[in-house]
Amino acid sequence: MAADTTELAPRDVAAKVPVTATVEAASVTALTTHLTGPVTALNVKVGQRVEAGQVVAVLDTSGVQREIDTQRAQQISADVAAQNQLEQAQQAYQQSNDAMQRGLNPQVTQAEAALRQADGQLQEATAVFEQRKKAVAAGLDSTLLTQAQGVDSARRDALTAALESVRGNHGIYQSGMAKDDAVQPLLSKLEADERYRGAKHNLSAAQKAYDAALNDTDADLAAKQRAVAQAFDAKAEAAVGLEVAKLAAQQQLDSQAAAVQQAQRGVQAAQAAAGQSIAQLEVDVASGQVRAPIAGVVAEVAVKQGQAPAGYLLSVADPNRLVLRANVKELDSAKMKPGDAVTFTTPGTGAKKFKGRVLDVSSVAETQAAAEGASGQTARPEFPVEIEVLGDTEGLKIGGTAKAQITTESAKGALAVPREAVVDENGSYSVYTLRPKDDGDKFEVVKTPVKVGLVSDSDVVVEGVEKGTRVLNKPAEYRERVGATVTLVEEQE
């Protein structure tokens, strides 16, 4: 028989999947703009190398510059208006403060005059009362003297309670401060003050008792005491009115001071807002010069000179880190994993081999619609694979094609036979071997069961046979000759 055999010897075997891929940059930076002015200069083309910061295009920003000029004019006008408002607020505050310091506040002055008048009337009524009291010798009665002292004390308590209530709760009466008659609404509020009500009740009781005692002594004297009481009430009301006027004046001064601060903040806010808006427009003017963000190669140009951009201008690729991208069949994708070694060639570099490794095998298919059409058949899904290029990249061109071999499995120092030498009988594998006989060139055909390991395009790793064993490459020719003796004839070259 002819020597169509394989003598088993340890060797390296690898399972590989061939793919057609595209060379791409791992990092591509898109240059976009929100400006709407046309492109006035386009300084690059596809494939051109650029440096970081290099001006690659210029956009018309004259419209933005006009907007800056308009906003600056508006800012000047707004600044003048805000400054005028501030000065008016400062002037109003200064006038009120000067009037307060010099005692010329009209409301306070009027209230002081009213208090002086009421006090004069009280003194006059008191003098008339005292004169009548002497005439009837009522001042000699110790009981009347005690009651008179009690009335005076009750009056002082009532006035003190009224003033303290006003001072402690002046915010309640703020709505009445601007009115001509601020006393009456205040007095109605005072009626709700518990301490004031108590003091007023005590005064009323003391006044009634004193009035009754005086009436028993002399009716005219009692009438004059009632006049004193009425004059005191008028003075108390005037005193409360003065306190209200002072609080109102201080409240007005505080309000005007707050208005000054608000006007100052308004000036600052207007200037800040206008400055921020103009600053952004100035950034837009500067961005009219479009610069390359990285050093690299222009991968795409989406605009033409004179054309208004639609956002996207161009892209710059980093040529220092390249990848291969390919779509593979579902069966092949199941064999691949990140880290698998890759070798590839390109049409432009001839037989030169480049190296890489699998970065990612997508778990989501990318359906190819091209297979659908007249045949009505559904396109078979394909899965994207990304491969990192390692080492030397000289000669590789972005966008070029590559023929790659992805090593999905490997075995070192393994015993392997040609794929056609393995017989598969319903999952049971065997090979046909030659067992040497005593007379040297004689061999017995033996069917040897084996376990199958790694399967490559041409070979199968097997277990169950030993190094140096001769395996028949065409087992079909020897199925009927198992146990037969054959002579091995070496083929002559």
What CATH number should be reported for the domain holding residue 33?
Answer: 2.40.50.100
In this structure, the chain runs to a length of 493
Statement to judge: residues 163 and 307 lie in one domain: no
* 333 located within any domain: no
Give the DSSP H or E segment for 5. strand 5-7
Statement to judge: residues 210 and 302 lie in one domain: no
Which residue type occupies 179? K
**pLDDT of amino acid 371:** 46
Rg (CA), the chain: 55
Is there a contact between 382 and 368 (Cβ–Cβ < 8 Å)? Answer: yes
Domain hosting residue 468, numbered range: 5-11+413-487
Q: How far apart are CA 277 and CA 71, in angstroms?
A: 8
Residue pLDDT, tens place only, 326-336: 999 999 999 99
- Looking at residue 364, what DSSP letter applies? S
* 348 located within any domain: no
Statement to judge: residues 117 and 252 lie in one domain: yes
Which residue type occupies 341? A
Is there a contact between 291 and 56 (Cβ–Cβ < 8 Å)? Answer: yes
Statement to judge: residues 293 and 232 lie in one domain: no
What SS3 state is found at 67? helix
Helices 142-168 & 194-217 angle (0-180, nearest 10): 160
Statement to judge: residues 188 and 301 lie in one domain: no
Which residue type occupies 147? Q
CB-count burial class (<10 Å; 0-12, 13-18, 19+) for 362: middle
Statement to judge: residues 175 and 215 lie in one domain: yes
| Of 376, 313, 380, 326, the residue nearest 356 (C-alpha) | 326
What is the number of H-type helices and E-type strands within the chain? 7, 22
Helices 183-190 & 219-286 angle (0-180, nearest 10): 100
**pLDDT of amino acid 304:** 92
- Looking at residue 295, what DSSP letter applies? S
Provide, for the chain, the percentages of residues in helix, strand and coil under a 3-state DSSP scheme, each rounded to the nearest 5.
Answer: 45, 30, 25
Q: How far apart are CA 174 and CA 184, in angstroms?
A: 13
Statement to judge: residues 293 and 261 lie in one domain: no
Q: How far apart are CA 471 and CA 87, in angstroms?
A: 109
Longest pairwise C-alpha distance within the chain: 177
* CB atoms inside a 10 Å sphere around CB 440: 9
pTM > 0.75: no
Q: Total structural domains in the chain?
A: 3
| Of 286, 300, 386, the residue nearest 337 (C-alpha) | 386
**Alpha-carbon dihedral of residues 416, 421, 424, 427, nearest 10 degrees?**
-10
Q: How far apart are CA 419 and CA 464, in angstroms?
A: 16
**Alpha-carbon dihedral of residues 430, 431, 437, 443, nearest 10 degrees?**
140
Q: How far apart are CA 302 and CA 305, in angstroms?
A: 10
- Looking at residue 310, what DSSP letter applies? B
Q: Output the CA torsion sign for 286, 287, 289, 292.
A: positive
**pLDDT of amino acid 377:** 65
Q: What are phi and psi of 12, to 5 degrees?
A: -90, 135
* 365 located within any domain: no
* CB atoms inside a 10 Å sphere around CB 79: 14
Residues of the chain under the 50 pLDDT cut = 173, 175-184, 370-371, 373-374, 493
What SS3 state is found at 210? helix
Statement to judge: residues 50 and 161 lie in one domain: no
- Looking at residue 148, what DSSP letter applies? H
What SS3 state is found at 177? coil
* b/e per residue 212-234 (b: at least 16 CB within 10 A): ebbeebbeebbebbbbbbebbeb
Is there a contact between 240 and 170 (Cβ–Cβ < 8 Å)? Answer: no
**pLDDT of amino acid 309:** 87
* 462 located within any domain: yes
* 362 located within any domain: no
* 401 located within any domain: no
* 356 located within any domain: no
Q: How far apart are CA 161 and CA 182, in angstroms?
A: 18
Q: How far apart are CA 46 and CA 298, in angstroms?
A: 5
Statement to judge: residues 115 and 262 lie in one domain: yes
Please report the beta strands in 253-353, taking only residues with DSSP state E, as ranges in sequence order. 289-291, 296-301, 312-317, 322-329, 341-345
What SS3 state is found at 291? strand
Statement to judge: residues 229 and 191 lie in one domain: yes
Q: How far apart are CA 340 and CA 3, in angstroms?
A: 37
Statement to judge: residues 246 and 217 lie in one domain: yes
* 71 located within any domain: no
**pLDDT of amino acid 287:** 78
Statement to judge: residues 57 and 196 lie in one domain: no
| Of 442, 337, 431, 316, the residue nearest 385 (C-alpha) | 337
